[in-house]
Structure 1
Protein backbone atom coordinates (compact mmCIF):
# COMPACT_ATOMS: atom_id res chain seq x y z
CA UNK A 1 0.00 0.00 0.00
CA UNK A 2 1.42 3.40 -1.01
CA UNK A 3 0.57 6.37 1.20
CA UNK A 4 1.93 9.81 0.44
CA UNK A 5 0.30 11.74 3.29
CA UNK A 6 -1.34 11.08 6.67
CA UNK A 7 -3.88 13.63 7.93
CA UNK A 8 -3.89 14.13 11.71
CA UNK A 9 -7.22 15.56 12.91
CA UNK A 10 -7.11 17.34 16.28
CA UNK A 11 -10.28 18.67 17.96
CA UNK A 12 -9.28 21.23 20.59
CA UNK A 13 -11.28 22.81 23.40
CA UNK A 14 -9.55 24.74 26.20
CA UNK A 15 -6.20 23.04 25.57
CA UNK A 16 -4.04 26.16 25.62
CA UNK A 17 -1.72 24.65 28.25
CA UNK A 18 -0.88 21.49 26.31
CA UNK A 19 -1.58 22.04 22.59
CA UNK A 20 2.04 23.03 21.89
CA UNK A 21 3.29 19.89 23.65
CA UNK A 22 1.23 17.50 21.51
CA UNK A 23 2.23 19.42 18.38
CA UNK A 24 5.88 19.04 19.37
CA UNK A 25 5.36 15.30 19.69
CA UNK A 26 3.72 15.16 16.26
CA UNK A 27 6.55 17.18 14.74
CA UNK A 28 9.10 14.71 16.15
CA UNK A 29 7.41 11.67 14.60
CA UNK A 30 9.16 10.17 11.58
CA UNK A 31 6.48 8.22 9.75
CA UNK A 32 7.44 5.00 8.01
CA UNK A 33 8.23 5.17 4.29
CA UNK A 34 8.69 8.95 4.57
CA UNK A 35 4.94 9.56 4.70
CA UNK A 36 4.27 13.29 5.08
CA UNK A 37 2.05 14.77 7.79
CA UNK A 38 -0.90 17.13 7.47
CA UNK A 39 -2.09 18.45 10.85
CA UNK A 40 -5.67 19.73 10.95
CA UNK A 41 -6.61 21.55 14.16
CA UNK A 42 -10.23 22.51 14.83
CA UNK A 43 -10.67 24.91 17.75
CA UNK A 44 -14.19 24.36 19.08
CA UNK A 45 -14.66 27.94 20.38
CA UNK A 46 -12.26 27.58 23.30
CA UNK A 47 -12.60 30.04 26.16
CA UNK A 48 -8.93 30.02 27.12
CA UNK A 49 -5.80 30.90 25.13
CA UNK A 50 -6.00 27.90 22.79
CA UNK A 51 -6.18 30.02 19.64
CA UNK A 52 -3.25 32.23 20.67
CA UNK A 53 -1.18 29.15 21.49
CA UNK A 54 -1.97 27.54 18.13
CA UNK A 55 -1.25 30.65 16.06
CA UNK A 56 2.00 31.24 17.95
CA UNK A 57 3.04 27.66 17.31
CA UNK A 58 2.23 27.89 13.60
CA UNK A 59 4.28 31.07 13.23
CA UNK A 60 7.29 29.47 14.94
CA UNK A 61 7.07 26.02 13.30
CA UNK A 62 6.27 26.59 9.66
CA UNK A 63 8.00 23.34 8.66
CA UNK A 64 5.02 21.46 10.12
CA UNK A 65 2.04 21.51 7.75
CA UNK A 66 -0.74 22.80 10.04
CA UNK A 67 -4.21 23.74 8.82
CA UNK A 68 -6.16 25.71 11.43
CA UNK A 69 -9.95 26.06 11.63
CA UNK A 70 -12.23 27.31 14.38
CA UNK A 71 -15.89 27.22 15.32
CA UNK A 72 -17.51 30.52 16.26
CA UNK A 73 -19.79 28.64 18.67
CA UNK A 74 -18.98 25.63 20.82
CA UNK A 75 -20.48 22.62 19.05
CA UNK A 76 -18.75 19.65 20.70
CA UNK A 77 -15.90 17.24 19.99
CA UNK A 78 -17.87 15.32 17.38
CA UNK A 79 -18.66 18.51 15.45
CA UNK A 80 -14.97 19.50 15.53
CA UNK A 81 -14.11 16.07 14.15
CA UNK A 82 -16.68 16.48 11.37
CA UNK A 83 -14.98 19.72 10.33
CA UNK A 84 -11.49 18.24 10.49
CA UNK A 85 -12.43 15.07 8.61
CA UNK A 86 -14.01 17.10 5.82
CA UNK A 87 -10.74 19.06 5.35
CA UNK A 88 -8.40 16.05 5.24
CA UNK A 89 -6.45 15.46 2.02
CA UNK A 90 -4.24 12.53 3.05
CA UNK A 91 -5.00 9.01 1.85
CA UNK A 92 -5.52 8.03 5.50
CA UNK A 93 -6.38 10.08 8.58
CA UNK A 94 -5.98 9.52 12.31
CA UNK A 95 -7.81 11.13 15.22
CA UNK A 96 -5.57 12.82 17.81
CA UNK A 97 -6.80 14.44 21.02
CA UNK A 98 -5.14 17.72 21.97
CA UNK A 99 -4.13 16.44 25.41
CA UNK A 100 -1.18 14.14 26.14
CA UNK A 101 -3.04 10.86 26.76
CA UNK A 102 -1.99 9.25 23.47
CA UNK A 103 1.53 9.09 22.00
CA UNK A 104 1.93 10.20 18.34
CA UNK A 105 5.03 8.00 18.07
CA UNK A 106 2.55 5.13 17.81
CA UNK A 107 1.11 6.32 14.48
CA UNK A 108 3.55 3.87 12.94
CA UNK A 109 1.98 1.03 14.93
CA UNK A 110 -1.44 1.92 13.52
CA UNK A 111 0.04 2.25 10.03
CA UNK A 112 1.49 -1.27 9.98
CA UNK A 113 -1.71 -3.12 8.87
CA UNK A 114 -2.35 -0.34 6.35
CA UNK A 115 1.12 -0.58 4.85
CA UNK A 116 0.71 -4.35 4.60
CA UNK A 117 -2.35 -3.70 2.44
CA UNK A 118 -4.81 -5.47 4.73
CA UNK A 119 -6.63 -2.66 6.58
CA UNK A 120 -9.06 0.16 5.76
CA UNK A 121 -9.58 1.06 9.43
CA UNK A 122 -7.28 0.54 12.43
CA UNK A 123 -8.27 1.01 16.09
CA UNK A 124 -5.58 1.54 18.73
CA UNK A 125 -6.59 -0.48 21.79
CA UNK A 126 -5.64 0.52 25.33
CA UNK A 127 -6.60 -2.96 26.55
CA UNK A 128 -4.28 -5.18 24.51
CA UNK A 129 -0.54 -5.45 24.06
CA UNK A 130 2.33 -4.78 26.43
CA UNK A 131 2.64 -0.99 26.12
CA UNK A 132 2.59 1.24 29.25
CA UNK A 133 -0.75 2.38 30.71
CA UNK A 134 -1.23 4.88 33.50
CA UNK A 135 -3.28 3.37 36.34
CA UNK A 136 -6.25 5.60 37.16
CA UNK A 137 -10.00 4.95 37.23
CA UNK A 138 -11.42 1.46 37.87
CA UNK A 139 -14.99 2.40 36.96
CA UNK A 140 -13.90 4.12 33.75
CA UNK A 141 -12.24 0.89 32.67
CA UNK A 142 -15.34 -1.14 33.53
CA UNK A 143 -17.50 1.40 31.68
CA UNK A 144 -15.31 1.33 28.58
CA UNK A 145 -15.33 -2.47 28.48
CA UNK A 146 -19.11 -2.56 28.94
CA UNK A 147 -19.67 -0.06 26.12
CA UNK A 148 -17.33 -2.01 23.85
CA UNK A 149 -19.15 -5.26 24.70
CA UNK A 150 -22.54 -3.67 24.01
CA UNK A 151 -21.33 -2.19 20.73
CA UNK A 152 -19.84 -5.53 19.67
CA UNK A 153 -23.14 -7.28 20.31
CA UNK A 154 -24.80 -5.17 17.62
CA UNK A 155 -21.93 -4.71 15.15
CA UNK A 156 -20.68 -8.32 15.38
CA UNK A 157 -17.14 -6.99 15.70
CA UNK A 158 -14.70 -8.27 18.34
CA UNK A 159 -13.06 -4.97 19.32
CA UNK A 160 -11.47 -4.59 22.74
CA UNK A 161 -11.63 -0.76 22.86
CA UNK A 162 -14.44 0.91 20.92
CA UNK A 163 -14.03 4.18 22.86
CA UNK A 164 -10.36 4.70 21.98
CA UNK A 165 -9.33 8.06 20.53
CA UNK A 166 -6.79 6.48 18.18
CA UNK A 167 -8.75 5.47 15.11
CA UNK A 168 -7.17 5.50 11.67
CA UNK A 169 -9.40 5.54 8.59
CA UNK A 170 -9.04 5.43 4.86
CA UNK A 171 -10.02 9.03 4.19
CA UNK A 172 -12.38 8.42 1.29
CA UNK A 173 -14.35 5.96 3.41
CA UNK A 174 -14.88 8.15 6.46
CA UNK A 175 -15.59 11.20 4.30
CA UNK A 176 -18.41 9.26 2.66
CA UNK A 177 -20.10 8.39 5.97
CA UNK A 178 -23.05 10.42 7.25
CA UNK A 179 -21.82 11.59 10.67
CA UNK A 180 -24.39 13.08 13.03
CA UNK A 181 -23.10 13.08 16.62
CA UNK A 182 -21.84 16.48 17.72
CA UNK A 183 -20.30 15.57 21.08
CA UNK A 184 -18.90 12.39 22.65
CA UNK A 185 -21.23 10.08 20.73
CA UNK A 186 -18.80 10.03 17.80
CA UNK A 187 -17.10 6.78 18.88
CA UNK A 188 -20.16 4.47 18.99
CA UNK A 189 -21.68 6.15 15.92
CA UNK A 190 -18.65 5.74 13.70
CA UNK A 191 -18.12 2.17 14.92
CA UNK A 192 -21.72 1.24 14.08
CA UNK A 193 -21.52 2.84 10.65
CA UNK A 194 -18.14 1.50 9.54
CA UNK A 195 -19.27 -2.00 10.55
CA UNK A 196 -21.91 -1.74 7.80
CA UNK A 197 -19.52 -0.64 5.03
CA UNK A 198 -19.35 -3.48 2.48
CA UNK A 199 -16.10 -5.46 2.59
CA UNK A 200 -14.58 -3.13 5.21
CA UNK A 201 -11.32 -4.41 6.71
CA UNK A 202 -10.97 -3.40 10.37
CA UNK A 203 -7.87 -4.12 12.47
CA UNK A 204 -6.92 -3.42 16.08
CA UNK A 205 -3.42 -2.90 17.51
CA UNK A 206 -2.19 -2.37 21.06
CA UNK A 207 -1.17 1.14 22.11
CA UNK A 208 0.01 2.88 25.30
CA UNK A 209 -2.17 5.25 27.33
CA UNK A 210 -1.16 8.16 29.54
CA UNK A 211 -4.53 9.09 31.05
CA UNK A 212 -5.32 12.42 32.70
CA UNK A 213 -7.13 13.06 35.97
CA UNK A 214 -10.00 15.55 36.07
CA UNK A 215 -7.66 18.01 37.80
CA UNK A 216 -5.35 17.68 34.80
CA UNK A 217 -8.16 18.45 32.36
CA UNK A 218 -10.05 15.23 31.62
CA UNK A 219 -13.50 16.15 30.30
CA UNK A 220 -15.52 12.98 29.72
CA UNK A 221 -17.89 11.95 32.54
CA UNK A 222 -20.67 9.55 33.49
CA UNK A 223 -23.27 11.45 31.46
CA UNK A 224 -21.22 10.75 28.33
CA UNK A 225 -21.38 7.05 29.17
CA UNK A 226 -25.18 7.13 29.09
CA UNK A 227 -25.03 9.06 25.83
CA UNK A 228 -22.79 6.35 24.41
CA UNK A 229 -25.35 3.67 25.33
CA UNK A 230 -28.05 5.72 23.63
CA UNK A 231 -25.89 6.08 20.50
CA UNK A 232 -25.09 2.37 20.37
CA UNK A 233 -28.80 1.59 20.37
CA UNK A 234 -29.72 4.44 18.04
CA UNK A 235 -27.18 3.81 15.29
CA UNK A 236 -27.41 0.02 15.40
CA UNK A 237 -31.17 -0.46 15.81
CA UNK A 238 -33.08 2.66 14.78
CA UNK A 239 -30.93 4.69 12.41
CA UNK A 240 -29.35 2.53 9.73
CA UNK A 241 -28.30 5.30 7.34
CA UNK A 242 -24.58 4.92 6.75
CA UNK A 243 -23.53 7.03 3.79
CA UNK A 244 -24.14 10.62 2.79
CA UNK A 245 -26.82 11.14 0.17
Structure 2
Protein backbone atom coordinates (compact mmCIF):
# COMPACT_ATOMS: atom_id res chain seq x y z
CA UNK A 1 0.00 0.00 0.00
CA UNK A 2 2.79 2.37 0.91
CA UNK A 3 4.65 1.63 -2.33
CA UNK A 4 1.47 2.29 -4.30
CA UNK A 5 0.97 5.68 -2.65
CA UNK A 6 4.58 6.63 -3.27
CA UNK A 7 4.30 5.61 -6.90
CA UNK A 8 1.13 7.66 -7.35
CA UNK A 9 2.72 10.66 -5.65
CA UNK A 10 5.81 10.37 -7.85
CA UNK A 11 3.67 10.25 -10.97
CA UNK A 12 1.76 13.31 -9.79
CA UNK A 13 4.98 15.25 -9.22
CA UNK A 14 6.22 14.33 -12.68
CA UNK A 15 2.97 15.54 -14.25
CA UNK A 16 3.23 18.83 -12.34
CA UNK A 17 6.82 19.27 -13.50
CA UNK A 18 5.83 18.69 -17.13
CA UNK A 19 2.97 21.20 -16.82
CA UNK A 20 5.34 23.78 -15.26
CA UNK A 21 7.86 23.25 -18.05
CA UNK A 22 5.22 23.73 -20.72
CA UNK A 23 4.09 26.97 -19.08
CA UNK A 24 7.61 28.42 -19.03
CA UNK A 25 8.94 27.15 -22.39
CA UNK A 26 8.80 29.50 -25.43
CA UNK A 27 6.18 28.57 -27.99
CA UNK A 28 7.21 27.30 -31.41
CA UNK A 29 5.88 30.44 -33.11
CA UNK A 30 8.44 32.58 -31.25
CA UNK A 31 6.07 34.07 -28.69
CA UNK A 32 6.91 33.45 -25.08
CA UNK A 33 4.87 32.68 -22.03
CA UNK A 34 5.43 34.95 -19.06
CA UNK A 35 2.30 34.78 -16.94
CA UNK A 36 1.15 38.19 -18.18
CA UNK A 37 4.47 39.86 -17.33
CA UNK A 38 6.00 42.36 -19.73
CA UNK A 39 9.40 43.81 -18.85
CA UNK A 40 10.39 47.38 -19.70
CA UNK A 41 14.19 47.69 -19.50
CA UNK A 42 15.21 51.29 -18.82
CA UNK A 43 18.63 52.46 -20.02
CA UNK A 44 20.06 55.92 -19.37
CA UNK A 45 22.95 56.92 -21.63
CA UNK A 46 25.28 59.90 -21.28
CA UNK A 47 28.40 59.92 -23.43
CA UNK A 48 28.47 56.15 -23.75
CA UNK A 49 29.72 55.89 -27.34
CA UNK A 50 32.19 53.15 -26.38
CA UNK A 51 29.56 50.77 -25.02
CA UNK A 52 26.05 51.83 -26.08
CA UNK A 53 25.87 49.66 -29.22
CA UNK A 54 27.23 46.59 -27.43
CA UNK A 55 24.87 47.16 -24.51
CA UNK A 56 21.79 47.34 -26.74
CA UNK A 57 22.83 44.30 -28.78
CA UNK A 58 23.59 42.31 -25.61
CA UNK A 59 20.25 43.14 -23.96
CA UNK A 60 18.23 42.31 -27.06
CA UNK A 61 20.15 39.08 -27.72
CA UNK A 62 19.03 37.46 -24.47
CA UNK A 63 16.24 34.87 -24.53
CA UNK A 64 13.64 36.16 -22.07
CA UNK A 65 10.76 34.23 -20.50
CA UNK A 66 8.34 37.08 -21.24
CA UNK A 67 7.75 39.98 -23.60
CA UNK A 68 10.21 42.86 -23.26
CA UNK A 69 10.91 46.36 -24.50
CA UNK A 70 14.14 48.34 -24.21
CA UNK A 71 13.79 52.09 -23.66
CA UNK A 72 16.99 54.10 -24.07
CA UNK A 73 17.14 57.76 -23.08
CA UNK A 74 20.05 59.79 -24.42
CA UNK A 75 20.62 62.26 -21.60
CA UNK A 76 22.10 65.14 -23.62
CA UNK A 77 25.23 63.31 -24.80
CA UNK A 78 27.75 65.38 -26.74
CA UNK A 79 29.73 62.44 -28.14
CA UNK A 80 28.56 59.93 -30.80
CA UNK A 81 25.93 58.29 -28.58
CA UNK A 82 23.01 59.91 -30.43
CA UNK A 83 24.34 58.87 -33.85
CA UNK A 84 24.86 55.30 -32.71
CA UNK A 85 21.34 55.16 -31.26
CA UNK A 86 20.02 56.37 -34.60
CA UNK A 87 21.56 53.33 -36.29
CA UNK A 88 20.03 50.83 -33.88
CA UNK A 89 17.02 49.03 -35.29
CA UNK A 90 14.76 46.59 -33.46
CA UNK A 91 11.00 46.56 -32.96
CA UNK A 92 11.56 46.15 -29.21
CA UNK A 93 13.76 49.26 -28.99
CA UNK A 94 12.46 52.75 -28.18
CA UNK A 95 14.71 55.80 -28.02
CA UNK A 96 14.06 59.13 -26.33
CA UNK A 97 16.33 62.18 -26.07
CA UNK A 98 16.95 64.94 -23.55
CA UNK A 99 18.11 68.15 -25.26
CA UNK A 100 20.55 68.73 -22.39
CA UNK A 101 22.03 66.63 -19.59
CA UNK A 102 19.60 66.31 -16.69
CA UNK A 103 21.09 63.39 -14.74
CA UNK A 104 20.76 59.62 -14.68
CA UNK A 105 17.72 59.74 -12.43
CA UNK A 106 15.92 62.14 -14.76
CA UNK A 107 16.66 59.87 -17.73
CA UNK A 108 15.28 56.82 -15.93
CA UNK A 109 12.15 58.71 -14.91
CA UNK A 110 11.62 59.73 -18.54
CA UNK A 111 11.99 56.10 -19.61
CA UNK A 112 9.56 54.92 -16.94
CA UNK A 113 7.10 57.57 -18.07
CA UNK A 114 6.81 56.00 -21.55
CA UNK A 115 7.13 52.36 -20.47
CA UNK A 116 4.27 50.00 -21.36
CA UNK A 117 5.32 46.92 -19.39
CA UNK A 118 4.00 45.49 -16.14
CA UNK A 119 7.47 45.77 -14.58
CA UNK A 120 10.48 48.04 -15.06
CA UNK A 121 14.18 47.30 -14.66
CA UNK A 122 16.98 49.87 -14.98
CA UNK A 123 20.06 48.60 -16.82
CA UNK A 124 23.28 50.57 -17.21
CA UNK A 125 24.67 51.32 -20.67
CA UNK A 126 28.28 50.88 -19.50
CA UNK A 127 28.20 47.05 -19.50
CA UNK A 128 29.08 46.74 -15.80
CA UNK A 129 26.18 44.29 -15.49
CA UNK A 130 25.43 41.19 -17.56
CA UNK A 131 22.03 41.06 -19.32
CA UNK A 132 21.98 37.26 -19.14
CA UNK A 133 21.26 37.71 -15.40
CA UNK A 134 17.93 39.40 -16.15
CA UNK A 135 15.89 36.19 -16.74
CA UNK A 136 16.98 34.98 -13.28
CA UNK A 137 15.43 38.12 -11.77
CA UNK A 138 12.22 37.50 -13.70
CA UNK A 139 11.87 33.90 -12.56
CA UNK A 140 10.44 34.55 -9.04
CA UNK A 141 8.04 37.14 -10.51
CA UNK A 142 6.71 34.82 -13.20
CA UNK A 143 6.39 32.00 -10.66
CA UNK A 144 4.26 34.29 -8.48
CA UNK A 145 6.64 34.37 -5.53
CA UNK A 146 7.21 38.14 -5.39
CA UNK A 147 6.98 41.35 -7.40
CA UNK A 148 10.07 43.30 -6.31
CA UNK A 149 13.41 41.65 -7.08
CA UNK A 150 16.92 43.07 -6.75
CA UNK A 151 20.05 41.79 -8.47
CA UNK A 152 22.54 41.82 -5.58
CA UNK A 153 26.30 42.19 -6.11
CA UNK A 154 27.89 40.01 -3.47
CA UNK A 155 31.26 41.41 -2.42
CA UNK A 156 33.91 38.84 -3.44
CA UNK A 157 31.59 36.60 -5.48
CA UNK A 158 31.17 36.96 -9.28
CA UNK A 159 32.25 40.59 -9.02
CA UNK A 160 35.20 42.74 -10.03
CA UNK A 161 35.63 46.08 -8.25
CA UNK A 162 38.22 48.49 -9.64
CA UNK A 163 38.22 50.46 -6.40
CA UNK A 164 38.05 49.20 -2.82
CA UNK A 165 36.60 52.56 -1.82
CA UNK A 166 33.58 52.15 -4.11
CA UNK A 167 32.90 48.66 -2.75
CA UNK A 168 33.21 49.70 0.89
CA UNK A 169 31.19 52.87 0.28
CA UNK A 170 28.30 50.80 -1.06
CA UNK A 171 28.48 48.44 1.91
CA UNK A 172 28.42 51.34 4.38
CA UNK A 173 25.42 52.97 2.70
CA UNK A 174 23.66 49.60 2.57
CA UNK A 175 24.30 49.21 6.30
CA UNK A 176 22.86 52.67 6.92
CA UNK A 177 19.69 51.78 5.00
CA UNK A 178 19.33 48.51 6.92
CA UNK A 179 19.68 50.24 10.28
CA UNK A 180 17.36 53.12 9.41
CA UNK A 181 14.58 50.92 7.98
CA UNK A 182 15.15 47.71 9.97
CA UNK A 183 15.91 45.78 6.79
CA UNK A 184 18.52 43.27 5.66
CA UNK A 185 19.55 44.20 2.13
CA UNK A 186 22.80 42.97 0.64
CA UNK A 187 23.13 45.68 -2.03
CA UNK A 188 21.40 49.05 -1.75
CA UNK A 189 22.84 50.54 -4.92
CA UNK A 190 22.49 47.73 -7.40
CA UNK A 191 21.26 49.02 -10.74
CA UNK A 192 19.10 45.93 -11.25
CA UNK A 193 15.87 46.77 -9.42
CA UNK A 194 12.88 44.91 -10.84
CA UNK A 195 9.75 46.75 -9.71
CA UNK A 196 6.11 46.73 -10.90
CA UNK A 197 5.51 49.79 -13.09
CA UNK A 198 2.48 50.91 -11.07
CA UNK A 199 4.49 50.71 -7.87
CA UNK A 200 7.43 52.57 -9.42
CA UNK A 201 5.20 55.43 -10.54
CA UNK A 202 3.39 55.58 -7.19
CA UNK A 203 6.66 56.26 -5.34
CA UNK A 204 6.63 59.87 -6.62
CA UNK A 205 10.40 59.87 -7.15
CA UNK A 206 12.14 63.23 -7.53
CA UNK A 207 15.91 62.61 -7.55
CA UNK A 208 17.45 63.60 -10.88
CA UNK A 209 20.95 62.20 -10.35
CA UNK A 210 22.50 59.01 -8.98
CA UNK A 211 20.41 59.47 -5.83
CA UNK A 212 17.42 57.89 -7.58
CA UNK A 213 18.83 54.44 -6.76
CA UNK A 214 18.75 55.32 -3.08
CA UNK A 215 15.34 56.97 -3.25
CA UNK A 216 13.70 53.94 -4.90
CA UNK A 217 14.90 51.60 -2.18
CA UNK A 218 14.19 53.99 0.69
CA UNK A 219 10.60 54.55 -0.50
CA UNK A 220 10.03 50.81 -0.85
CA UNK A 221 11.52 50.03 2.55
CA UNK A 222 9.44 52.77 4.14
CA UNK A 223 6.31 51.07 2.78
CA UNK A 224 7.36 47.80 4.33
CA UNK A 225 8.48 46.14 1.09
CA UNK A 226 11.53 43.88 1.38
CA UNK A 227 12.97 43.04 -2.06
CA UNK A 228 13.82 39.47 -2.94
CA UNK A 229 17.54 39.47 -3.83
CA UNK A 230 19.17 37.35 -6.54
CA UNK A 231 22.98 37.28 -6.90
CA UNK A 232 24.29 38.78 -10.16
CA UNK A 233 27.65 39.36 -11.84
CA UNK A 234 29.33 42.75 -11.82
CA UNK A 235 32.34 44.16 -13.67
CA UNK A 236 33.01 47.66 -12.42
CA UNK A 237 34.81 50.28 -14.46
CA UNK A 238 37.27 52.86 -13.19
CA UNK A 239 37.17 56.65 -13.39
CA UNK A 240 39.52 56.41 -16.35
CA UNK A 241 36.98 54.14 -18.09
CA UNK A 242 34.23 56.70 -17.58
CA UNK A 243 32.72 55.92 -14.18
CA UNK A 244 30.92 59.07 -13.04
CA UNK A 245 30.02 58.38 -9.39
CA UNK A 246 32.04 60.31 -6.77
CA UNK A 247 32.14 60.49 -2.97
CA UNK A 248 29.81 63.50 -3.16
CA UNK A 249 27.10 61.21 -4.57
CA UNK A 250 27.59 58.98 -1.53
CA UNK A 251 26.96 61.91 0.79
CA UNK A 252 23.83 62.88 -1.15
CA UNK A 253 22.56 59.29 -0.91
CA UNK A 254 23.06 59.28 2.85
CA UNK A 255 21.08 62.52 3.11
CA UNK A 256 18.28 61.00 1.02
CA UNK A 257 18.08 58.00 3.35
CA UNK A 258 17.87 60.25 6.39
CA UNK A 259 15.30 62.57 4.82
CA UNK A 260 12.95 59.76 3.81
CA UNK A 261 13.35 57.96 7.13
CA UNK A 262 12.43 61.15 8.99
CA UNK A 263 9.51 62.01 6.72
CA UNK A 264 5.91 61.27 7.63
CA UNK A 265 3.54 59.15 5.61
CA UNK A 266 0.29 60.27 4.07
CA UNK A 267 -1.33 57.08 5.33
CA UNK A 268 -1.05 55.59 8.82
CA UNK A 269 0.62 52.23 9.30
CA UNK A 270 -1.98 49.46 9.37
CA UNK A 271 -0.01 46.27 9.41
CA UNK A 272 1.52 44.53 6.40
CA UNK A 273 1.49 46.54 3.19
CA UNK A 274 0.18 44.67 0.16
CA UNK A 275 1.05 46.21 -3.19
CA UNK A 276 -1.39 45.96 -6.05
CA UNK A 277 -1.60 42.32 -7.20
CA UNK A 278 -0.33 41.54 -10.69
CA UNK A 279 -2.86 40.39 -13.32
CA UNK A 280 -3.79 36.76 -12.97
CA UNK A 281 -2.09 36.33 -9.60
CA UNK A 282 -4.37 37.85 -6.94
CA UNK A 283 -3.02 38.49 -3.51
CA UNK A 284 0.68 38.67 -4.38
CA UNK A 285 2.79 40.92 -2.26
CA UNK A 286 5.32 43.49 -3.36
CA UNK A 287 8.58 41.88 -2.34
CA UNK A 288 10.16 38.75 -0.98
CA UNK A 289 9.25 39.76 2.58
CA UNK A 290 6.58 42.24 3.62
CA UNK A 291 6.46 43.73 7.08
CA UNK A 292 4.73 46.56 8.82
CA UNK A 293 5.05 49.80 6.89
CA UNK A 294 3.32 52.87 5.78
CA UNK A 295 1.93 54.40 2.66
CA UNK A 296 3.59 56.99 0.49
CA UNK A 297 6.12 59.27 2.02
CA UNK A 298 5.78 62.99 1.92
Alignment TM-score > 0.5, same fold: yes
Please name the residue that 2:94 is paired with: 67
Structure 1 length-normalised TM: 0.90
Alignment of 1:123 onto 2:150 = yes
Alignment of 1:222 onto 2:247 = yes
Task: Answer 1 or 2: higher relative contact order, Cα 8 Å, separation at least 6.
Answer: 1
Alignment of 1:103 onto 2:130 = yes
- Pair 240,15 (structure 1): closer, same or farther in 2 beyond 3 Å: farther
Runs of 4 or more, structure 1, over 4 Å off, are 239-245
SS in 2 for 1:196: helix
Please name the residue that 1:21 is paired with: 54
Matches within 5 A, 1:106-185: 106-127=133-154, 130=157, 132-185=158-211
Contact 1:123 1:167 in 2 (8 A): yes
Unaligned runs of 5+ in 2: 1-33, 267-294
Shift in Å, 1:133: 1.3
SS in 1 for 2:198: helix
Contact 1:78 1:182 in 2 (8 A): yes
Taking the aligned partners of 1:21 and 1:211, their CA distance within structure 2 comes to: 16
Taking the aligned partners of 1:137 and 1:50, their CA distance within structure 2 comes to: 27
SS in 2 for 1:42: strand
Shift in Å, 1:147: 0.2
SS in 1 for 2:194: strand
SS in 1 for 2:223: coil
SS in 1 for 2:236: coil
Matches within 5 A, 1:193-232: 193-197=219-223, 200=225, 202-232=227-257
Contact 2:161 2:237 in 1 (8 A): no
Shift in Å, 1:197: 3.1
- Pair 208,107 (structure 1): closer, same or farther in 2 beyond 3 Å: same
Bigger drift between 188-197 and 90-99 goes to 188-197
Alignment of 1:53 onto 2:84 = yes
Taking the aligned partners of 1:122 and 1:145, their CA distance within structure 2 comes to: 19
Shift in Å, 1:128: 6.5
- Pair 91,27 (structure 1): closer, same or farther in 2 beyond 3 Å: same
Unaligned runs of 5+ in 1: none
Deviation by residue 1:128-151 (Cα, 9 ceiling, x = unmatched): 695x21142111111100000001
- Give 1 or 2 for the bigger CA radius of gyration: 2
Give me the CA root mean square deviation. 2.0
Shift in Å, 1:225: 0.8
SS in 1 for 2:35: coil
- Pair 231,104 (structure 1): closer, same or farther in 2 beyond 3 Å: same
